[in-house]
Structure 1
C-alpha cells in the first residue's frame, strides 16, 4: 500500500507550532495534486487552514510526484524550503529527517491526540521515525483496484471478467468493438504501479513479498515471476492505444466507455 503524506519542512517551525496566534502566517504548501478532483480536495484543506486566521499559499507543481519530488528536495536541501509539502513516506523522506531538515511534529501530534484520531494506526507509524512524528497522513492511495466499464463490455458483447485471465481473454472482442481494453496513461508511475498490482494479483502475496521484502534474486528469476512478466506484456498490448498522458485522462476513457478498464487506486 502506498501512502501519500503531507510532511512539514524545517521552514514550518513557527508556522505550524504557532498557527492561530496573533500574528497570521503565510504558509507555502507544495504538492502535485493538480487534477480537477485533487485540486478541489486541496482547496478544502486550504479553506480549513485559512479559517484559523492564517493563509495557505498554494504551491502546486504540475505533473506527477516524479516531477515534483526532485523540485521539493532541491528546495529543502538548498536552503529555500516551503512551509509544508506533500511527500510519500519512504527512504527519501527518511533521509531528509536524518539530515535534520524536517520538522518534528510530535508536540503538535500529542496536543491533537493523533494516536486516538488516526486510523488505521499504521498510517501514523509510517510518519514515525525513532519515536518522533514527522508528517501528517492525509491520503491513502491503494493500487489494488481494477475499475471496469459496464458500458464497454456490453458494447463488446462479453461478460465482465472475474479475474485477470478473463480480462485478457476479452481484449480481442473489446478491440473489435473499437474499445481500448486497458487504459494506462503515459506517465511512468502508472506503468510501474500497474506492474506492482499484477505482481500481487497474478503472482500472489508470497511472490510479492519475496521480491520486494526478501529481495530474493533467485526467486525473481524463476517461473512464478515469469508469469507476472507475461501478464505485464499482455497489459502493455491491451493499453497500446491509450494515447493520453495523465491518470485522470485515462480514467475519463473508462468513464465514457472508450476504455474497458484501468488499474488505479
Structure 2
C-alpha cells in the first residue's frame, strides 16, 4: 500500500500552520509513509517535533499490513509519551495477501502489546476492491472486530464506497465499545446513524475541501464526546494546501476549520479532542 500511494504523492511539504494554544492529538497518521525512514530515525523525530511546535504533541500511528504494523509498534515503543499504535490489515490488503491467516496471526500477536491501543485500520473499501474479492475483505473486517473486542481496544474503520455494508457488518457482529470511523466520509444522515449507535467520528482535512459540504454539515452535529481529529498523513492535506505532503502539524488547520463550523473556540475544541483521544486510546506516556 505504501509504495502504491507514494507514487501518487506530491512530496512538497504543506507549510507548518500557526500553533494551537492548547495541545491536541492526531488520531490517525502514517509516519512511515511521510518519512520513508525507520521508526527511531531523525526523520520521524523531525515530523514529531514540527507537529509539537504546531500544538500537536501526540500521534496515533496506524497499521495497514503485518510488516508495517510492526513498524507502528516499534515507533510507539521508541517515542513514548508521543506515539501510540494501531495494528491491522487494511481492507485493500486483506484480499490480496498470500496467506491471510498467517498475517492475521502476526496482527493478533502485535495486538497484545501494551502500546497498541486500537485495531485498525480495517473495514471495507469497494473503490479499489472488485466484487469477487469483497467476501474475503468482509471476512477480514469481521475478524478484526472480534480481535478488538477480545482485547477491549478501539476499532479504527476505513470505509470507502461501502457505507451500508460497514454499518450492516457492525450490527451483525456487534461493534466494540469504542468504534471509530476514520476520515469520516458519510453524509448527514449517516452521521446521525453513527451518533445514535455511539460510534466516534474522526474528521480529516477533507472537511476543508470545497467539494465536501456534507462533511461540514456532519461535523456540526456530532456530540463533543464522539469527536476526533486526524490528518491521515501523508494524504489529504487541508485546504489551501490540498495535494501537498500532509503531516500531523496540519491538525492545527483542521481543528480551526472544525471549530469554525461548530462555533466554538480553537482552544475549547482542542481540549475536547485531546480529552477524547486520551479516553479512547489511553495515556500516551
- If the length of structure 2 is used for normalisation, what is the TM-score? 0.24
Whose Rg is larger?
1
- If the length of structure 1 is used for normalisation, what is the TM-score? 0.25
